[in-house]
Amino acid sequence: MNSLIDALGLDLRILIAQFVNFAILVFVLWKFAYKPVFKILEERREKIKKGIEDSEKSEKRLEEAESEKNEIIAEARRQANELIEEAKGKADIRYQEIVNKAKGDLQVVIEDEKEKIASYRKQAFNEVKKDAAILITSALEKILDEKIDEKKDKEIIENIIKDLN
Amino acid sequence: MGLNISLAPEVLFYIGTFPVSNTFFWFIIVWLIFIIGALFLKNNLKMVPGKMQNLTEMAISGAYDFTESIIGKGKRAERVFPLVATMFFFILICNLIPYIPGQAAITIYNGQGMVPLFRSIMADYGLVFVMTITTVITVQIITIAVSGPFLYFKKFINLKSPLKFFLGVMDLIGEVAKIVSLSFRLFGNIFAGEVLTAVMLFLMPFIVPLPFAFLGLLTATVQAFVFSVLTLVFISMATEIPEEKLKKKEKKMKTNQEIGQEV
């Protein structure tokens, strides 16, 4: 046994030193290599997980915003259509109103004009009548002045008086 | 020029009466590299890893995943990982160091004769033995913790029947055999690689040693892997609750249920 130990070069002091060193190595690697590496791996994993979750969230939000946008646009379009319809209706009514009013006005104007024309006519007629009477009178006077002598005049007057009677 | 092959590591010099062998010397150097590397790593960990950090992270997390695949997830893997992973990385680097060219030629005078400055670190039976003993003691402690001291000793010393006594003795021999097989596997492979390389270099210095060097690289990696995985497997076996205890537990649960039903 002793010769075997000698042959293998075993020395208890070296063995102890090696054991202690190895134990220290295990401890140091555990404390300063494995643990921090696992920690940072875990942290990175968390970070990546969070990043993916965040991106999923934001994507979802984007989708929501998109659908909301579409909804709003549809709503706006619907409202606009409604407004247009309403405006059209109103415009129709207003158009009718205006047309009717214009028609009424026109009627009034026409009536007015008719009346005016009629009164003008009457006036003109009266004037013509007057002028004609004057004209006739003057013509008559002329004729009477020249061709009717006193005798005739007398006759006519007498005839008129006769007629009158 | 003679070929000098020594089973024991050569002593380089003495500190007081403490003999510093060439393997111990290099053990300390590799050890320092690891310690400094770990401290450097700790202070330079970044959220966005560089190439070196990426490599380290990959190695460590890969080793951890492998550990988990053998021993199961959770606390178990977490507890056993530092020991097993350190064994693996340390043995791996120790085994790969001899492939740095040129160092094998350096010899120094230690007072009695010329000794090579370098020797493959795992070709020192002492260190391998220390690591094996660490494994075996860990396994024994875990076994006692899991199955209880009474059951643990009952496994080895059982006087109920001659057959069981015989099996107990076999178990005891098995435990000792574990130490021998585990330690001599690593030591033997690395030492054999050393000797083979030395012989080949001695006989035919050019080209011929190359295939053996490649073989040696393979051995270096595989042995580091085998040693740590065997440690892992032994520990994993030790953490399994023995059948007898399971039976007792079941009985207990059954009686509890029966009591519950009666109540």
What is the value of ipTM here, to two decimals? 0.78
- Under the banding of pLDDT at 50, 70 and 90, the label for residue B1 is very low
State pLDDT tens for residues B69-115.
888 888 888 888 888 888 899 989 888 888 877 776 677 776 677 77
Per-residue pLDDT of A4-43, as tens digits, reads 777 777 778 888 888 888 888 888 888 888 888 888 888 8
Those residues with Cβ within 8 angstroms of residue A104's Cβ, 6 or more apart along the chain or in another chain: none
Number of domains chain B contains: 1
- Cα–Cα distance measured from residue A34 to residue B69, given in angstroms and rounded to the nearest whole number: 18
Contact B179/A at CB under 8 A? no
Residue B146's contacts (CB-CB under 8 Å, 6 or more residues apart) are B238, B239, B240, B241, B242
Q: How many CB atoms sit inside 10 A of residue A73's CB?
A: 10
Report the residue of chain A nearest B9, measured CA to CA: A9
Residue B53 domain flag: yes
CA separation for the pair B11, A13 (Å, rounded): 13
Give pLDDT tens digits for B31-61: 899 899 888 888 888 877 788 888 888 888 8
Q: B263 pLDDT band (50/70/90 cuts)?
A: low
Whole-angstrom distance, CA of residue B79 vs CA of residue B138: 11
The number of C-beta contacts closer than 8 angstroms across A and B is: 110
Q: Is residue B70 part of a domain?
A: yes
A120 shares contact with chain B (CB less than 8 Å):
no
Q: Are A19 and B27 in contact (CB under 8 A)?
A: no
A43 has a chain B CB within 8 A of its CB: yes
Shortest distance, CA B252 to any CA of chain A (angstroms): 39
Q: Which of A6, A14, A41 sits opposite B24 (nearest CB)?
A: A14
Q: Is there a domain that residue B2 lies in?
A: no
Q: Is B6 part of any domain?
A: no
Boundaries of domain holding A147 = 2-164
Instruction: Residue window 209-248, chain B: list those with CB within 8 Å of chain A.
Output: none
Q: Spell out which residues of chain A touch residue B82, defining contact as CB-CB under 8 Å.
A: 26-27, 29-30, 34
Instruction: Convert the pLDDT of each residue in A89-138 to its tens digit.
Output: 999 999 999 999 999 999 999 999 999 999 999 998 888 888 888 888 78
Give the relative orientation of helices B22-44 and B75-96 as an angle to the nearest 10 degrees.
130
In a domain, B1, yes or no: no
The verdict on a CB contact (< 8 Å) between A19 and B130 is yes
Top mean-pLDDT range of A27-36, A71-80, B156-165, B219-228: A71-80
Which amino acid is located at B123 in the chain? A
In angstroms, what separates the C-alpha of B35 from chain A's closest C-alpha?
Answer: 7
Question: What confidence tier does B186 reach under pLDDT thresholds 50, 70, 90?
Answer: confident
Q: How far is B193 from chain A (nearest CA, A)?
A: 17
Q: Which of B39, B42, B67, B138 to mutate to test the interface with A (most CBs of A within 10 A)?
A: B42
Q: Collapsing DSSP states into helix, strand and coil, what is residue B113?
A: coil
Chain B residues in contact with A12 by the CB 8 A cut-off are none
Q: Please indicate whether, in this complex, the C-beta atoms of A32 and B42 are within 8 angstroms of each other.
A: yes
Q: Is residue B5 included in any domain, yes or no?
A: no
With respect to residue B4, please indicate whether it lies within any of the assigned structural domains: no
pLDDT for the residue A15: 83
When CB atoms are compared, the residue of B8, B35, B41 closest to A7 is B8
Which of A28, A43, A44 minimises the CB distance to B38?
A28
Q: Where are the alpha helices (DSSP H) in B22-148?
A: 22-44, 51-71, 75-96, 125-147
pLDDT beyond 90 at A79: yes
Instruction: State residue A89's pLDDT score.
Output: 92
CB proximity B44 to A under 8 Å: no
Q: Which two structure tokens, joined as six digits, stand for A85?
A: 């319809």
- CA–CA distance, B178 with A18 (Å, rounded to integer): 21
Contact state of B37 with A33 under an 8 Å Cβ cutoff: yes
Q: Tokens 């293998």, residue?
A: A8
Residue range B155-179, pLDDT digits in tens: 788 777 888 888 888 888 988 898 8
For A37, which of B37, B57, B90 is closest by C-beta distance?
Answer: B57
Q: Say if the Cβ atoms of B8 and A40 lie within 8 Å.
A: no
Distance between CA atoms of A37 and B52, rounded to whole angstroms?
12
B232 burial type by CB count under 10 A (0-12 exposed, 13-18 middle, 19+ buried)? buried
**Domain span at residue B155?**
11-262
How many domains, in total, are found in chain A?
1
